[in-house]
């Protein structure tokens, strides 16, 4: 029997977000997709999530922006991107010809900015969904992350939901004491799915200069070092929401991806691993297929949440 790896990530949305398989690339680690088309057949991926996109183009933070650490990288890119206007003009027409769905990751400094981005992208050919990065500091609330608090997270989700009919994935930050509360709040505010985790707050110090390495002092840790943290949070969130959960954080092998799926994730994203191996996402997909064939599992649904207590999928 042929394997069925397909997954529906927006079952409550009219348009839906059906992926041929559960392996996506994570925002900020795969450009706009085209950059990698020489390294791998990108059309085989489940979905591509593009760079974080803002209303206006951004130059990002001063160097250094990326520092290796044990088991991962710390990044302080600062949302360098071409802005939504250029994205719609230059990138979306290319995506519209692709088989692989492209999801646009959006970020704003205010709720109005998020809503405006969602409105501009609504109905754009080549855009299959939005991923809302709520790990940005909420300027009006004094710099706390939108995603750190259930109320601000819900307010962003509600505004985006009202501005678009596209499937909406809300990307959760681990930098909160109440990720379950935030997940429940965004699900209640109309998110079609949640993805987690974004990078973990971290820092490094340059001992020769006796100064923090990054201009913003703290930055975001990703890579294998964060995987066990991400796993615990995905397991927790999958237990409190009834919308699809997308797991990410340190996935470098098919076994890593399968762990997230068994924890309750319907799909996974591959981020920093692409820096080491540009083919990482496809290698992971092939490994999942191999595992399913070996264990006689025909449908991905057969293993989603397999590690959860019975009856609590």
Ligand X SMILES: Cc1cc2nc3c(=O)[nH]c(=O)nc-3n(C[C@H](O)[C@H](O)[C@H](O)COP(=O)(O)O)c2cc1C
What is the number of the residue whose Cβ is closest to ligand X?
28
Q: Is 175 in the site for ligand X (CB under 6 A)?
A: no
Pairing of strands 245-247, 218-222: unpaired
Paired tokens of 175: 């930098």
If 0-12 CB within 10 Å is exposed, 13-18 middle and 19+ buried, where does residue 262 land?
Answer: middle
- Site map (CB under 6 A) of ligand X, residues 212-241, x = contact: ----------xx--x---------------
Q: Is 50 a catalytic residue?
A: no
Q: Is 271 in the site for ligand X (CB under 6 A)?
A: yes
Q: Is 129 in the site for ligand X (CB under 6 A)?
A: no
CB of 263 to ligand X, least distance (A): 15
> Closest CB to ligand X among 8 and 135?
135
Q: Interface with ligand X by CB under 6 A: which range of 73-81, 146-154, 237-245, 297-305?
A: 73-81
> Closest CB to ligand X among 77 and 203?
77
Q: Interface with ligand X by CB under 6 A: which range of 70-78, 84-92, 109-117, 149-157?
A: 70-78
**Binding residue (CB under 6 A) for ligand X from 33, 150, 174, 250:** 250
Extended beta strands in the chain, E state? 7-8, 18-19, 23-25, 47-49, 66-69, 72-75, 102-106, 129-133, 168-171, 193-196, 200-203, 205-206, 211-212, 218-222, 245-247, 267-270
Point out which residues pair with 211 in neighbouring strands.
Answer: 206
Paired tokens of 300: 């991905």
CB of 299 to ligand X, least distance (A): 25
Paired tokens of 247: 């797991």
Q: Which residues are catalytic?
A: 136
């Amino acid at each position: 029997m042929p394997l069925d790896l397909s997954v529906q990530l927006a079952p409550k949305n009219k348009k839906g977000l059906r992926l041929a398989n559960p392996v996506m690339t994570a925002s900020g680690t795969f450009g706009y997709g085209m950059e990698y088309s020489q390294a791998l057949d990108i059309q085989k991926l489940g979905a591509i999530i593009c760079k974080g996109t803002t209303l206006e183009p951004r130059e990002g933070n001063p160097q250094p922006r990326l520092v290796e650490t044990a088991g991962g990288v710390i990044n302080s890119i600062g949302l360098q991107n071409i802005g939504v206007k250029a994205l719609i003009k230059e990138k979306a027409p290319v995506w519209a010809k692709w088989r692989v769905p492209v999801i646009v990751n959006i970020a704003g400094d205010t709720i109005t900015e998020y809503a405006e981005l969602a409105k501009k992208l609504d109905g754009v050919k080549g855009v299959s969904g939005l991923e809302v990065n709520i790990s940005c500091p909420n300027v009006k609330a004094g710099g706390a992350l939108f995603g750190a608090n259930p109320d601000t997270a819900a307010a962003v989700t509600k505004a985006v939901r009202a501005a678009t009919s596209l499937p909406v994935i809300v990307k959760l930050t681990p930098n909160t004491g109440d990720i379950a509360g935030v997940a429940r709040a965004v699900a209640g505010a109309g998110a079609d799915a949640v993805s987690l985790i974004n990078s973990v707050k971290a820092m490094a110090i340059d001992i020769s200069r006796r100064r923090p390495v990054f201009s913003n002092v703290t930055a975001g840790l990703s890579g294998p070092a964060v995987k066990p943290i991400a796993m615990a949070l995905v397991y927790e969130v999958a237990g409190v929401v009834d919308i699809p959960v997308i797991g990410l954080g340190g996935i470098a092998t098919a076994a890593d991806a399968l762990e997230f799926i068994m924890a309750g994730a319907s799909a996974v994203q591959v981020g920093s691993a692409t820096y080491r191996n540009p083919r990482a996402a496809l290698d992971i997909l092939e490994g999942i297929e191999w595992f399913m064939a070996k264990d006689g599992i025909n449908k991905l649904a057969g293993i989603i949440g397999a590690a959860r207590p019975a009856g609590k999928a």
